[in-house]
């Protein structure tokens, strides 16, 4: 495994692979890796010849009062985990390498970036789209791998790739959970023991809704109530919504197409998000989206 910190070294290292016709997979991350990230890596290793992991805590996607400065970091451990997982190349740039002096061009996503996290983190998806577009241009991957836990992020990135004619496949990977159901997240590291216990309420509610859906409940209202009740263990809920899985528009009434139930809120000072996808057309909807 090699580690590079500059765009020039990254391009140089990948040029030979590309000339040799190797398929290149990219896994963009902000580091502090866990099993969720590693499942993206494994998927890339399985589907591509060369796997590149980027580790970069992207300042442009953090709001002024968010946790950019305290975001957890452990580069040495990250490199060990990447090596063990079969990563070929790690790109670990510093901020100046990605946003050099004079940087002024951003990617502005459309309506997919407006609801849910977009409403509570103004500018967040502009920052995500910009850095992901830059990573796509730097690595020029055949496939890029993203986690379903960040449901809206995948939708925004997929749309951007399509709208801007980026020649790659965006692959979505199911959410990896702790044994008790809590979605893995680097930010779980912020949680004190009692907060970690309370964090279970999110997946508990989502799983209750999924169980009811599997038994035939199709009304959005009662499904939302099943998620809402346990969320009282959170300190605040930013949103709890059922949205069309494609457009992210709110769905009321009966669920007659694939939807996502999306949650975001705070436990203490830690912001957590999670979701499940429910698809009435798929007999196995719950299993495939345990996620
Ligand atoms: N539990 C998970 N299962 C699958 N993929 C995940 C999981 N958590 C994160 N990912 C994916 O890993 C990629 C990098 O995410 P990131 O580095 O922000 O990690 P994170 O744990 O989501 O951090 P945070 O929750 O603090 O934002 C994203 O595509 C994200 O969706
Ligand atoms: C995709 C990403 C690496 C862009 O900074 C980030 O938003 C993340 O880790 O999900
Ligand atoms: N996983 C999304 C990165 C963020 O919360 O900024």
User: Are residues 70 and 206 part of one domain?
Assistant: no
Domain final residue pick, 173, 198, 225 = 173
Q: State in Å: Cα 28 to ligand 1 middle.
A: 9
Is 270 contained in some domain?
yes
CATH classification at residue 266? 3.30.1300.10
Q: Ligand 3, residue 61: give the atom nearest the CA.
A: 6
Largest CA distance in the chain: 57
Domain termination residue (choose one: 173, 195, 220): 173
The atom of ligand 1 lying closest to the CA of 174 is: 4
CB distance 46 to 40 below 8 Å: no
Confirm whether 155 is domain-assigned.
yes
Distance CA 269, CA 172 (A): 29
In CATH, what number is assigned to the domain containing residue 73?
3.40.50.620
Is this model's pTM higher than 0.90 or not? yes
Kindly state whether residues 133 and 12 are assigned to the same domain.
Answer: yes
Residues 6+ apart with CB under 8 A from 175: 36, 147, 148, 149, 183, 184, 274, 275, 290, 291
- pLDDT tens, residue by residue, 96-130: 999 999 999 999 999 999 999 999 999 999 999 99
Count of structural domains, the chain = 2
pLDDT tens digits, one per residue of 42-92:
999 999 999 999 999 999 999 999 999 999 999 999 999 999 999 999 999
> Hey, whose CA ends up nearest to atom 1 of ligand 3?
150
Burial class (CB in 10 A: 0-12, 13-18, 19+), 169: middle
Res 26 pLDDT > 80: yes
pLDDT at 79: 98
Q: Is residue 101 part of a domain?
A: yes
Residue 37 among the catalytic residues? yes
Residues 148 and 236 in one domain: no
Give pLDDT, residue 282: 86
180 within a domain of the structure (yes/no): no
**Which strands, in side-by-side order, build the sheet including 270-278?**
236-244, 259-267, 270-278
- Coil, helix or strand for 227? helix
Closest by CA to 268, choosing from 67, 36, 74, 59, is: 67
pLDDT of residue 80: 98
Closest-CA residue, ligand 1 atom 25, reads 185
Range of the domain at 225: 186-290
Residue 94 · residue 221 · CB < 8 Å: no
pLDDT tens digits along 199-239: 999 999 999 999 999 999 999 999 999 999 999 999 999 99
Residue pLDDT, tens place only, 248-289? 999 999 999 999 999 999 999 999 999 999 999 984 544 555
195 shares a domain with 150: no
Residues 101 and 213 in one domain: no
Q: Which of 27, 37, 107, 188 is catalytic?
A: 37
Among 138, 173, 208, give the residue marking a domain's end.
173
Same domain, 164 and 55: yes
Helix 200-214 and helix 220-228, axial crossing angle in degrees, nearest 10: 150
């Amino acid at each position: 495994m090699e580690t590079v910190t500059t765009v020039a070294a990254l391009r140089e290292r990948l040029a030979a692979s590309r000339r040799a016709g190797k398929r290149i997979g990219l896994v963009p991350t902000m580091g502090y890796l866990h099993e969720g990230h590693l499942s993206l890596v494994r998927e890339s290793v399985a589907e591509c010849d060369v796997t590149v992991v980027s580790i970069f805590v992207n300042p442009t996607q953090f709001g002024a009062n968010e946790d950019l400065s305290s975001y957890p970091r452990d580069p040495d451990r990250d490199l060990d985990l990447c090596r063990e997982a079969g990563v070929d190349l790690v790109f670990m740039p510093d901020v100046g390498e990605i946003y050099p002096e004079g940087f002024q061009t951003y990617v502005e996503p459309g309506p997919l970036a407006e609801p849910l996290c977009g409403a509570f983190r103004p500018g967040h998806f502009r920052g995500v789209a910009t850095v992901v577009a830059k990573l796509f241009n730097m690595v020029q991957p055949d496939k890029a791998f993203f986690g379903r836990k960040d449901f809206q992020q995948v939708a925004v990135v997929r749309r951007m790739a399509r709208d801007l004619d980026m020649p790659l496949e965006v692959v979505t990977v199911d959410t990896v959970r702790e044994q008790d159901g809590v979605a893995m997240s680097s930010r779980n590291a912020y949680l004190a023991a009692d907060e970690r216990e309370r964090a279970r309420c999110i997946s508990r509610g989502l799983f209750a809704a999924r169980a009811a859906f599997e038994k035939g409940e199709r009304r959005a209202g009662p499904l939302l109530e099943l998620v809402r009740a346990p969320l009282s263990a959170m300190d605040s809920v930013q949103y709890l919504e059922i949205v069309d899985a494609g457009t992210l528009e709110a769905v009321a009434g009966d669920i007659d197409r694939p939807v996502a139930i999306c949650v975001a809120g705070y436990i203490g000072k830690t912001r957590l998000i999670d979701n499940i996808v429910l698809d009435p057309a798929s007999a196995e909807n719950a299993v495939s989206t345990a996620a």
